[in-house]
Structure 1
């Protein structure tokens, strides 16, 4: 496998974003890449700002319904973890393909803030009607990540 990959995140059948990333590790189930903030400009969510210079260490699994992105400033200061609920990743031809299922979780660096995000978008997506099994997996994944975030060892335990 090459040291450079392209991460492609799709949503509702359309490409949401594509960006180059450096391969950090591939265990056969989990693939880890590192990439700078790939969107244009600053994205202020109110609880965190993603901005040029930020570095994302991203963990995707071929068997799990989520991706965990550790977010640091360019100086290496941990901002927290942004978790996308996704179908299991597919790695093919130098590309990591991930389908976003709308649900997200934010965990602050100190673990004090655990925010479930976009549950309204998930409900409006119609996934529960069109693919009830995938919708159930997505909800289970969000619940499991939230529970892990509240555990003493937090999300880093999933990345060890």
Structure 2
């Protein structure tokens, strides 16, 4: 999946990167540079894998009567600072499948959000937003310390 993201980044940023490479952050620059080395045939295979996964997830969703997938958004609360955004393990599969997701914070731990994500169907972003609004109206965030006390 990472190789597909890097390959797609290299394609999308091709013109901009040639002109403004010095303005890109080091991690994005490294990803684009890696993506430039991915052969077109491999990128096509990765895209085909994406479509296969998406179709399997949608098939399961229909068969089981699932309106939307709901999973943890992260393995814990959001990290403090701007050095990293958190662990992608809980979001990667959905991103690779090309499905819309939205993270809904339900509480704070030491001032940082902790929540879950809802995942909709490809091309049905508006339906996902409808569900997110319904959930937002039903929930109110809480605050706890890392010791687990409100």
TM-score (norm 1): 0.24
Q: If you compute each CA radius of gyration, which structure gives the higher value, 1 or 2?
A: 2
Structure having the higher helix fraction is 2
Structure having the higher strand fraction is 1
